[in-house]
């Protein structure tokens, strides 16, 4: 079966040969061959070298590098260099430099020195993308196009303002509509002309929530337009057989709507750098990987960047333990990645990222890290047959950029409402239960899922509400968590009782939110307690499964269950501790018939399955990862051949060393 980019799995990383010279290139060739590298991402930040003066290109050096890689059997993920405009661009177009919300215009000297909405930048970016495509579309090394790098910047300049106004006219049609959508009657914010509207720059006091939300939507659309312009410039020269994509940012960044990008890229590519060790890194990897698979609609996808070891962040640098490299990579592969790329091949000795790890560390190839890289290359060759296979899930966690952006504004009833953390927690609880989960948008057809979780789905559009209703009516199980469905797509409260959009489906009516102070608890009828949030809630058809047990809410429902149509709507109005939350999920999973991939695995041991044809037969590959620092024996896994070792699983169950892994072709 073919993978995304040809037979087998992709393996390699960002390759920046312009930082080195001939003897190093020769060593790179030998080391790449030895490690089994078959894909190199080239040119990500090379704009100043490729176009040293406006309109004058210098391609000879890149010709030579691509020819050399090709001769060495390495295919190329060719990037457009638009995340790092050359110094001449800044001097010629000072108006295209980004401006922060407080009005500071940033200067040259780093990367991402541009405003995505600046016409001069957009023209220059599309031009270099087209020029690269014209030159290299037919190059035999070319495997894929990598547009830009991590769309993540935001700008509040006058050019952003102009583009924002155009976007607002298209969205709202008239100023009256805009004023009504944003509720500008409050605080006398009514706009009398389009020119009066600016990006939501720094203000004295709370900003208008509708304004903030629309700006984030606008900015995401602007970033997507910047992407599709480059993609189309490439397509004018490069045929449909060479896919075009971009590397999407880490899960915690929320500048673009990833569903929208998922629709426009030929396949999803992500960068992922877990920021915690041990089991947490396993959970984080699964979170990033499940998102990547979901944004692409379930197709295979590609891990475009990860670190071999330390990742420099503002706060600290997290070292990987021996074995982490293989296990983290398999965490991505098990969830659908058709390969593993790193940032970067050779560790820089100068420049802003000189302390970021690489496949060839500062100390050279005779190092633990490089040996693990070589071993990983060999492992990926043994796993070639999984390329192109897919992952299926029966559970989904709802994820919506609008809901995140809306919740992420000032003036919320509690500072402890955190969209990303709440979604991550829901996903993690499923991961710990051994259940593979997709992410889904509320407006998707959800009927293929037995269980859907809606954590902090603060904003819910009318279409989303109708979709969730259809889902439950049709037999689905929906578990909604507090502060969901309370505002509409304009960021206006749905009045008449909370959670407005879901009251009927959930059979409840909330009158009053009772956020809990940091550290405060609300006693519950089973002896446990909730934190963060509580509500004055009545049932209207639902059954109270748990009640508040003290204070003025004593006796009021805290957790409810409602039979609706052929399905069930659950509502959880407080934050349960980890143990009770897991117990609730276990109960709901059992009720709706969703089982773990492998029931009964110890906590910290992960199993996930890919499926696809092998020699004409439907085949399953079970990835089993021991994130613990102790050995485990797994009596629940008694069959299959480990592709990594060639050994059959013993009848008394798979054994894994501390941090150990297996990829079992199932009989
Ligand atoms: C991102 C970027 C890379 C590099 C790494 C370092 O993923 O795309 O260029 O900066 O971060 O972690």
For 185-325, list the strands marked E by DSSP.
244-245, 247-248, 269-271, 301-305
Distance CA 531, CA 421 (A): 15
Q: Which positions are annotated as active-site residues?
A: 150, 305
658 vs 182: CA distance, rounded Å: 55
Q: What token pair was written down for 7?
A: 């037979």
pLDDT above 80: residue 313: no
Residue 458: the pLDDT is 98
- What is the pLDDT at residue 316? 67
Q: What is the pLDDT of residues 57-99, one digit of tens each?
A: 999 999 999 999 999 999 999 999 999 999 999 999 999 999 9
| Overall average pLDDT of the 472-493 stretch | 98
pLDDT at res. 225: 98
Mean pLDDT of 275-296: 94
Which pLDDT tens digit goes with each residue over 428-460? 999 999 999 999 999 999 999 999 999 999 999
The residues that bridge with 494 in the sheet, in sequence order, are none
Give the chain's mean pLDDT: 96
Please give the Cα distance from 315 to 531 (Å, whole number). Answer: 28
Asked if residue 641 has pLDDT above 70, the reply is yes
Domain 605-665, architecture per CATH: Sandwich (2.60)
Distance 14 CA to ligand 1 centre (A): 9
Question: Which ligand 1 atom sits nearest the alpha carbon of residue 312?
Answer: 12
C-alpha distance across the termini of the chain, in Å: 18
Atom number in ligand 1 closest to CA 313: 12
| Residue 70: partners with Cβ closer than 8 Å, 6 or more residues away | 76, 139, 140, 141
- Atom number of ligand 1 nearest to Cα 44: 9
Those residues whose C-beta lies under 8 Å from the C-beta of residue 442, and which sit 6 or more positions away, are: 398, 400, 454, 457, 460, 461, 464, 465, 467, 468
- Tens of pLDDT, residues 222-265: 999 999 999 999 999 999 999 999 999 888 888 999 999 999 99
Instruction: Ligand 1, residue 149: give the atom nearest the CA.
Output: 8
CATH no. for 395-592 = 3.40.50.880
pLDDT at residue 432, as a whole number: 98
Quote the ligand 1 centre to 428 CA distance (angstroms). Answer: 25
* Model pLDDT for residues 402-428, shown as the tens digit of each residue: 999 999 998 999 999 999 999 999 999
- pLDDT surpassing 90 at residue 315: no
- The pLDDT score that the predictor gives to residue 277 is 86
Which pLDDT score is estimated for 476? 98
**Residue 313 Cα to ligand 1 middle (Å):** 10
Which residues have CB under 6 Å of ligand 1?
A: 149-150, 271, 273, 305, 311, 343, 353, 356
∠ CA(132), CA(138), CA(143), 5° rounding? 85
Q: 3-state class of 325 per DSSP?
A: helix
Helix orientation angle between 419-432 and 278-295, rounded to the nearest 10 degrees: 100
CB 499 within 8 A of CB 488: no
The candidate with the shortest Cα–Cα distance to 482, out of 558, 544, 563, is 558
User: Hey, which of 45, 110, 271 would you mutate to test ligand 1's pocket, going by the most ligand atoms within 8 Å of its Cβ?
Assistant: 271
Above pLDDT 90, what percent of the chain?
96
Residues 574-613 have pLDDT tens digits of: 999 999 999 999 999 999 999 999 999 999 999 999 999 9
CA distance 2 to 9: 9
Model-wide pTM > 0.85: yes
**How would residue 299 be classed by pLDDT, with cut points 50, 70 and 90?**
confident
On the question of pLDDT at 317 being above 80, the answer is no
Residue with the smallest CA separation from ligand 1 atom 4 is 343
Domain ranges for the chain: 395-592, 605-665
C-alpha 452, offset from chain centre: 19
Q: What is the pLDDT of residue 1?
A: 60
Confidence of residue 554 (pLDDT cuts 50, 70, 90): very high
Q: Which atom of ligand 1 is nearest to the CA of 150?
A: 8
Mean pLDDT of 395-408: 97
Q: Which helix (H) or strand (E) holds 567?
A: strand 567-572
Q: Tell me which DSSP letter residue 519 carries.
A: T
CA of 343 relative to ligand 1 center, distance in Å = 6
Ligand 1: which of 255, 343, 347 to mutate, most ligand atoms within 8 Å of CB?
A: 343
Degrees (nearest 5) of the Cα angle 392, 395, 397? 115
18 CA to middle of ligand 1, Å? 17
Hunting for tokens 């399953």 — which residue is that? 620
What pLDDT, on the 0 to 100 scale, is given for residue 608?
98
148 CA distance to ligand 1 middle (Å): 12
Phi, then psi, of 607 in degrees rounded to 5: -135, 135
Tell me, what's the pLDDT at 451? 98
Nearest C-alpha to atom 5 of ligand 1 is from which residue? 343
Give tens-digit pLDDT for 170-209: 999 999 999 999 999 999 999 999 999 999 999 999 999 9
């Amino acid at each position: 079966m073919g993978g995304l980019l040809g037979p087998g799995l992709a393996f390699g990383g960002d390759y920046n040969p312009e930082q080195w010279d001939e003897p190093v290139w020769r060593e790179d060739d030998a080391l790449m061959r030895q490690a089994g590298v078959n894909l190199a991402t080239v040119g990500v930040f090379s704009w100043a070298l490729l176009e040293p003066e406006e309109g004058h290109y210098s391609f000879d050096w890149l010709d030579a590098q691509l020819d050399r890689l090709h001769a060495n059997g390495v295919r190329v993920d060719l990037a457009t260099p638009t995340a790092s405009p050359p110094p001449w661009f800044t001097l010629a177009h000072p108006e295209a430099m980004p401006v922060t919300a407080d009005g500071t215009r940033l200067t040259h000297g780093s990367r991402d020195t541009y405003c995505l909405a600046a016409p001069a930048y957009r023209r220059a970016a599309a031009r270099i993308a087209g020029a690269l495509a014209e030159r290299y579309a037919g190059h035999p090394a070319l495997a894929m196009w990598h547009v830009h790098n991590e769309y993540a910047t935001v700008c509040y300049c006058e050019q952003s303002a102009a583009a924002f106004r155009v976007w607002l006219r298209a969205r709202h049609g008239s100023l009256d509509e805009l004023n009504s959508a944003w509720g500008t009657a409050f605080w006398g914010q009514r706009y009398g002309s389009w020119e009066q509207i600016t990006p939501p720059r720094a203000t004295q006091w709370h900003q208008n929530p509708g304004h903030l939300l629309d700006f984030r939507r606008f900015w995401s659309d602007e970033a997507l337009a910047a992407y599709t312009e480059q993609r189309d410039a490439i397509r004018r020269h490069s045929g449909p057989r060479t896919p075009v994509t971009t590397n999407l940012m880490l899960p915690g960044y929320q500048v673009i709507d990833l569903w929208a990008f998922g629709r426009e890229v030929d396949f999803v590519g992500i960068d992922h750098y877990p920021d915690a060790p041990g089991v947490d890194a396993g959970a984080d990897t699964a979170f990033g990987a499940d998102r990547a698979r979901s944004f692409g609609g379930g197709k295979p996808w590609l891990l475009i960047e990860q670190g071999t070891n330390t990742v420099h962040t503002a706060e600290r640098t997290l070292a990987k333990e021996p074995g982490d490299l293989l296990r983290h990579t398999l965490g991505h592969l098990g969830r659908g990645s058709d390969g593993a790329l790193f940032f970067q091949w050779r560790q820089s000795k100068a420049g802003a990222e000189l302390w970021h790890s690489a496949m060839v560390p500062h100390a050279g190839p005779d190092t633990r890290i490089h040996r693990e890289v070589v071993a990983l290359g060999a492992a990926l060759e043994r796993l070639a047959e999984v390329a192109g296979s897919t992952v299926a899930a029966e559970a989904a966690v709802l994820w919506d950029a609008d809901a995140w952006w809306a919740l992420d504004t000032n003036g919320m009833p509690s500072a402890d409402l955190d969209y990303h953390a709440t979604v991550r927690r829901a996903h993690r609880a499923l991961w710990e239960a051994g259940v593979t989960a997709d992410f889904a948008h509320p407006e998707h057809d959800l009927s293929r899922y037995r269980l859907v979780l809606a954590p902090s789905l603060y904003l819910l559009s009318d279409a989303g509400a109708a979709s969730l209703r259809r889902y439950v009516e049709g037999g689905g199980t929906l578990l909604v968590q507090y502060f969901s469905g309370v505002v509409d797509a304009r960021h206006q409260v749905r009045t008449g009782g909370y959670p407005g959009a879901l009251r009927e489906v959930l059979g409840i009516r909330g009158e009053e939110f009772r956020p809990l102070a940091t550290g405060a608890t609300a006693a519950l009828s089973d002896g446990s307690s909730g934190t963060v949030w509580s509500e004055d809630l009545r049932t209207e058809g639902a059954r109270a499964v748990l009640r508040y047990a003290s204070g003025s809410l004593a006796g009021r429902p805290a957790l409810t269950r409602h039979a609706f149509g052929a399905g069930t709507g659950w509502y959880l109005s407080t934050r349960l501790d980890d143990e009770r939350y897991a117990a609730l999920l276990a109960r709901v999973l059992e009720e709706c018939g969703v089982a773990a991939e492998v029931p009964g695995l110890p906590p910290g041991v992960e199993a996930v399955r890919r499926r696809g044809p092998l020699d004409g037969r439907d085949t399953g590959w079970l990835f089993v990862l021991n994130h613990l620092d102790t050995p485990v024996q797994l009596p629940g896994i008694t069959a299959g051949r480990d592709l990594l070792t060639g050994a059959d699983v013993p009848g008394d169950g798979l054994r894994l060393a501390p941090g150990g892994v297996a990829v079992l072709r199932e009989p």
